[in-house]
Amino acid sequence: MDTRDSRGDAAGRPVNGTAHPGTIVEVADAILRSALTKEELQNLLVASLGLSKRECREMVNTIFEEMRVALESGESVKLEGFGRFQLKARPKRWARNLHSGERIPVSERRVVTFHPSRKLTDRIEHPPRR
């Protein structure tokens, strides 16, 4: 019998802290699991704030929508204690097609970069002991 859930994790293993609402997940455990999804974030808010699932879904969607709008308009998004999302312009350049060896132009573009805060970096490097 297969003991894996739909995401491929072993059955019974907590996913991103859902087995312990309101607590910080150990870094080693977080590395073994999948990424935190929007749905899991909404569920964590439901558990910790006691709001309805619909309210938490709207809250998460609104936050991400406002971040998207700010980045599209060229603004940075700074989240205190977490990090900063900002746009960076990548100039036009030449690349090489590895299969044929021919040079191909890559047009200039804007990309989103993330710079973690010092507080987040310190917490990742030295997780708190329990």
Show me where the domains of the chain are located: 12-74
Element (H, E) at 65: helix 53-72
- pLDDT score recorded for residue 127: 86
Encode burial over 25-53: b for 16+ CB neighbours within 10 A, e otherwise.
Answer: beeeebeebeeeeeeebbbbbbeeeeeee
Burial label for 89, CB within 10 Å (0-12, 13-18, 19+), is exposed
Model-level pTM?
Answer: 0.64
pLDDT of the residue at 112: 96
Q: Which two tokens stand for residue 87?
A: 């746009």
pLDDT at residue number 128: 82
Strands (E), 11-91: 77-79, 83-90
Contacts of 130 (CB under 8 A, 6+ apart): 26
Q: CA-CA distance, 56 to 61, in Å (whole number)?
A: 9
Domain 12-74 sits in CATH at 4.10.520.10
In order along its 130 residues, the chain shows pLDDT tens digits of: 444 444 444 444 455 545 544 455 544 455 556 788 999 999 999 999 999 999 999 999 999 999 999 999 999 999 999 999 999 999 999 999 999 999 999 999 999 999 999 999 999 999 888 6
pLDDT at 21 (0 to 100): 47
Other beta carbons within 10 angstroms of residue 67's beta carbon come to 15
